[in-house]
Homo-oligomer: A and B are copies of this chain.
């Protein structure tokens, strides 16, 4: 007796899988409720017993995924140590590889991008929290606003993850992508482009004559 009728769980899983595979094939907006129930081999009326509409189903898929991810990250998030271990990022990429199709649907911004936004916002909030804890723990003052930092970092992750998940077949292991991403993010683009030392001071560069 795990909280729910066996039939319900089966149905929800079928609907979820059908939506994901169809969205990958045709794009979310070109998938109808009938398409979904047909592929899931269920009556159309059954759909509406579980979800108000297509968007509700997608929204549920995202929040389930976020919850699962959260549980996997919990034991890895730096609490006392607060260093740059990179373990959470690695776990994120491993999770993405396991749930590749769902991630692809979300990262493609299907469904008016609300799914992607929800995902991004959750990751950004988590990153900002870690950054704040780290700054306090090491008694260090960030040189750039922490929220901007978090957004940029998550933006990087997601952009690279999107590319990585769409390459067929995936050539890089989760360890390899995560490694590149961390090197790039921590050391910066000046280093990544192959230059040595620090970048030139941009103070006068960024403000031309105008």
Contacts and interface: CB of A to CB of B under 8 A. Distances in A.
Contacts of A207: 175
Interface string A167-188: 0000000010011111111111
Interface string A2-35: 0000000000000000000000000111000000
A128 B179 CA distance: 20
Contacts of A180: 144-145, 148
Interface string A28-59: 11000000000000000000000000000000
A195 to B, nearest CB: 6
A112 B195 CA distance: 39
A contacts with B: majority SS? helix
A90 B202 CA distance: 12
A84 B109 CA distance: 32
Given A151-B159, A163-B148, A206-B179, A195 B138 contact: yes
Nearest to A30: B112
Contacts of A187: 188, 190, 198-199
B193 A206 contact: no
A156 B152 contact: yes
Contacts of A178: 206
